[in-house]
Amino acid sequence: MRIPDHLAEKGKKRIASFPVDGFVFGGGPEHPKMMLVGEAPGETEIGNGVPFSGRAGRELMTFIERLGLTREEVYITSAVRSRPYRWGEKKTRDGQVVKRKYNRPPTAREITAHAPLLDYEVANVRAPVIVTLGNIGLKRLAGPDKKIGDCHGDLLVQPVQKLDENDQFVWTDKEYRIFPTYHPASIFYNRSLLEVIHSDLEKLKEVLASG
Ligand code: URA
């Protein structure tokens, strides 16, 4: 399943005034084993159009394997579908300082700009559980008061946030099963989180087995 083109065009227009690059569709089966919600694509993903195909993606594939699943069985998306960047400086080997773009987390306004895209996926993809990766996906869906450090590895059964016609977040009538864990990129900064994620994945395995 993929969002309709008119919705993608709307998303591109809504985010056009922000410092972001490209557009990567989420994707996967309409009836996946689970839906994964990340943060935003990075440089690699913008280059090849495939979500989670860079360094964080390689880690994520090991998580999916641990669950006994394949990439083809899961729906993969994120809160924002363009790459948020900031300009920074880098010293080259020959000592020159060059300007380059660095990834950064999406802002609240960028998340709002692309909210209709994720809302469509949440409403139309028949996933038995939505796994949020990191704080951005968790807060976007389960609400701003949620913190990954407090609720990773817990199954939350609750409404999710969706954008209304006034660009305000409201709660869905329907309840969803949300399973928060850390973003795979978090282990690049804090290696000890890998053990925590592995223990979350053991719990997620039980949740998936219970249907
Ligand atoms: N992080 C995300 O959240 N999504 C990607 O596609 C890549 C990195």
For residues 88 and 10, give the distance between their C-alpha atoms in angstroms, rounded to a whole number: 30
H or E stretch at 141: helix 135-142
As a whole number, mean pLDDT of residues 149-158 equals: 98
> What is the atom index within ligand 1 of the atom nearest the CA of 136?
3
What global pTM score does this model have?
A: 0.96
Q: In testing the pocket of ligand 1, which one of 23, 25, 35, 52 has its CB within 8 Å of the most ligand atoms?
A: 52
Q: Burial-class residue 191 by CB neighbours within 10 Å (0-12, 13-18, 19+).
A: exposed
Burial code (b: 16+ CB inside 10 Å, e: under 16) for 31-63 equals ebbbbbbbbbbbeebbeeebbbbbebbebbeeb
CATH architecture type of domain 5-209: 3-Layer(aba) Sandwich (3.40)
Average pLDDT, the chain: 97
Q: In testing the pocket of ligand 1, which one of 36, 71, 78, 110 has its CB within 8 Å of the most ligand atoms?
A: 78
Q: Are 131 and 32 in contact (CB under 8 A)?
A: no
Q: Model confidence at 161, in pLDDT bands (50, 70, 90)? A: very high
| pLDDT number for residue 211 | 73
Question: For residue 103, which phi and psi values (nearest 5 degrees)?
Answer: -65, 150
List all residues whose CB is within 6 A of at least one atom of ligand 1: 38-42, 45, 51-52, 54, 56-57, 78
Q: Is the pLDDT of residue 115 over 90?
A: yes
pLDDT digits (tens, 9 = 90+) for 48-80: 999 999 999 999 999 999 999 999 999 999 999
pLDDT digits (tens, 9 = 90+) for 175-187: 999 999 999 999 9
Burial code (b: 16+ CB inside 10 Å, e: under 16) for 106-142 equals beeebbbbbbbbbbbbbeebebebbbbbbbbbbbbbb
Q: Is the pLDDT of residue 6 over 80?
A: yes
> What is the atom index within ligand 1 of the atom nearest the CA of 133?
3
187 alpha carbon – ligand 1 mean position (Å): 14
52 alpha carbon – ligand 1 mean position (Å): 5
Whole-number CA gyration radius for the chain:
17
